[in-house]
Amino acid sequence: MPLGLLFLGHDGIWSKPYLAGEKAALTAERAKIANGFDLSATMHWGKTKARIRQILLPRANQLLQLASVQRLLAEALARGERILVSNGIVFWYEAHGGVGWQVKETSSTREADGATIWKEGTILSTNHGRLVVLPYIKENGERIRGHTKNGPNDGRALPRHPDHYVEIPFSLYGGDLMIGLFGELPYE
């Protein structure tokens, strides 16, 4: 069944309905997300997603202000754990410079693309990237050390001075410490 689309013009007038091709249907689907952030669905989708992450980042950091999360992180730090991973969110502790706990994200905490998470690995951060790549084992058995990086369209991650490289073992947690699809926090 063909899909009909309407567009709201800059003058506030809706267009006449027209049948949409595959590209127009994809743009209309992306518009549901982009328009919610006052962004254009027709601009480069990778750049749009990067901008949405920038908008939502302060909201993610609200997790650090919740008493239940603060207690969880204090208990982890007392056990000597400085990275906790739960449902794509990474709580990362940096002692140097008084940074403390910060929120990052990981691309995956499940098996994907023929790689498995190497649960006893460490993460070596040589930069200030927003993404944490967990240690994983390739299909051929090669073990890849965890590291930090920025995502596509985020620009290069700022490098750390070699004296400030961070090598940390991590803990993978289950549970509901996550931000929902539309930015909602389960603790609100």
Domain that holds residue 81: 66-173
Helices (H), the chain: 22-34, 45-61, 67-78
pLDDT of residue 159: 92
Q: Which two tokens stand for residue 166?
A: 């961070």
pLDDT of residue 118: 62
CA distance 30 to 45: 8
Please state the domain count of the chain.
2
pLDDT tens, residue by residue, 21-62: 888 888 888 988 998 899 988 899 999 988 888 788 766 677
Question: Could you tell me if 81 and 148 lie in one domain?
Answer: yes
Question: Could you tell me if 35 and 91 lie in one domain?
Answer: no
Question: Could you tell me if 84 and 157 lie in one domain?
Answer: yes
Torsion angle in degrees (nearest 10) through CA of 32, 36, 38, 44: -40
Low-confidence ranges of the chain (pLDDT < 50): 109, 112-114, 176-179, 181, 187-188
Question: Could you tell me if 53 and 41 lie in one domain?
Answer: yes
Question: Could you tell me if 34 and 72 lie in one domain?
Answer: no
pLDDT of residue 181: 46
